[in-house]
Amino acid sequence: MRRWPIIAFVGLALGALSGAAAYQQVGPRQDERHAEWREIAWPFPRDGWPAGKAFRCDTAACGRDVAIYVRPKMGFCNCDRGVADDDEVDRVADVDLINERFAPVSTGQVIRIADMPGRIRMYELPPATSRGHAVGIAVSRGCDLLVAVAHGNRDAPEVRRTALAFLATSEMTRWVTAAMEGR
């Protein structure tokens, strides 16, 4: 009669151990793979738009230091066309907050972030800055924009890939969706 509590305890302990072992075999979740990004204070002076979110991934985690700044600009987009061309990306994507003398590396490309269409464009920053390349992103929903700029001392395609991977995380997708809905 007294064996049942011992058998139950042993069964629960073995179940817990096998569950823990199975958990250790599973690879990291998407959000855990991007845990190397840490939120930092918005580094830019106040302008006509609210401050957004700023993140940094240091050299140890990302191979090189990369930063990304994201914010909504409500009511700032062409309501009919959205982000239609590279000139608009140049104008709205906040690349000028990093350096006013940015120069496009190539023509932009069409992208989607959190189900919003827009454009992304890569830039070279003047040699006087410590960060060699930047990526400007502008996507829209109705008359509202979401802009992001990422920069780092990596080549432009690497900065682009790193920024898009971070913006695709479930945490950022949730934040973007909430920010664009005004919450």
DSSP-assigned letters across all residues of 132-151 = -EEEEEEEEETTEEEEEEEE
Whether the model pTM is above 0.75: yes
As a whole number of Å, the CA-based R_g of the chain is 22
Q: Which domain holds residue 84?
A: 30-180
Residue 69 lies in a domain: yes
Output the six-digit token pair for 174: 């949730």
- Residue 113 CA to residue 55 CA, distance in Å, equals 17
Domain presence at residue 20: no
Residue 103 lies in a domain: yes
Question: Which tens digits make up the pLDDT trace of 127-175?
Answer: 755 558 999 999 999 889 999 999 988 888 989 999 999 999 999 999 9
Dist CA 44 CA 50 (whole Å): 11
Number of domains in the chain: 1
Residue 98 within a domain: yes
Decide if 144 is inside a domain. Answer: yes
Residue 149's beta-bridge partner residues? 69, 136
| Interval 76-93: pLDDT, tens | 877 888 898 999 999 999
Task: Sort 164 into a burial class: Cβ within 10 Å, 0-12 / 13-18 / 19+.
Answer: middle
Does a structural domain hold residue 54? yes
Q: What CATH code is carried by the domain that includes residue 70?
A: 2.60.120
